[in-house]
Structure 1
């Protein structure tokens, strides 16, 4: 399976992602939104990436200022964990098995802390992420254990598992 993962990284021209896994931007709309009050500057209307996570990597808890739609493409199911701004925990599983409560696509609302991992026993998940308004690294905030644990103590186990530091 490692060979297939390496082949996907090469074929899709994926690079290491700061939050974990590998990615490649595949789309950035030429339509630019300039009057967005909660953003630090103009944003592309929409962006899209390929995102590959393996059993050895996970998407660490982070949040952005836009809605993010996840799309399942290939591999094993992917568990997305979320904490709402009010501290409500939820999760969704992206995958090919609709009859086992997996979904092909799912939207993480703006402002939610979220992370993802390949389900136990899986090797990898190849997914896509579409962000609108478009993704900009200045809108990306990586969670820290201390800050999130003090804010959401009931979810300490999830926070410790999914925080990078």
Structure 2
């Protein structure tokens, strides 16, 4: 890892994330959504919203995963990342995040619940903010294997193999 990237990790007090990259939770509302007001798949109450800083060093990727809740990604600094999304209806979309809105870069991307997504750096690092609603709990994270995903989305085998670790 480059010294500048390590300084960012240290300065922001980030730790390794299971999907790849580094993160730190920065916000968790004290307001809760009752279990009875959530889809059954949540299996318990959740905070109304949570937010993290998410950092991908150069050459790193966030493996394909999906959440039970919606997540919004906000570009902060660095180059990229590119988000790869496979929606439940089997459609694929690739989006470059960044400050260049005149070059069709997105400063903000909304990822609907149940969407399979991965992120990769291009060039140097990427620093992103992520807001989840209802709030994130690791019980809501699904990181299927490449074999499982290829069975579910055979049309996307190449991209799945590129951005899974198992």
TM-score range, shorter chain: over 0.9
Find 1:68's aligned residue among 68, 71, 88. 71
Q: What are the equivalent positions in structure 2 for 1:7-156 lying under 5 Å apart?
A: 7-34=7-34, 35=36, 36-38=38-40, 39-119=42-122, 122-156=123-157
Secondary structure of 2:71's counterpart equals: strand
- The Cα of 1:2 is off from its aligned counterpart by 1.7
CA contact (8 A) 1:61 1:162 kept: yes
Extract unaligned runs of 5+ from structure 2: none
**1:123: how far off?**
1.3
Aligned length, in residue pairs: 163
Counterparts of 2:158 and 2:60 in 1: how far apart (Å)? 18
Determine the C-alpha separation between the residues in 2 that align with 1:117 and 1:56: 7
Unaligned segments of structure 1, at least 5 residues: none
> After TM superposition, which residue ranges in structure 1, 4 or more long, deviate above 4 angstroms?
none
Q: Answer whether contact 1:58 1:118 (CA < 8 A) is retained.
A: yes
C-alpha distance in structure 2 between counterparts of 1:101 and 1:129, whole Å? 20
The answer as to whether partners of 1:49 and 1:130 remain within 8 angstroms in 2 is yes
Cα distance per residue 1:10-53 (max 9 Å; x no partner): 11100000000000000000001112133110100000000000
8 Å Cα contact 2:73-2:129 kept in structure 1:
yes
TM-score, reference length from structure 2: 0.95
What RMSD over aligned residues (CA atoms) do the two structures have, in Å? Answer: 1.1
Report SS of the residue matched to 1:24.
strand
TM-score (norm 1): 0.95
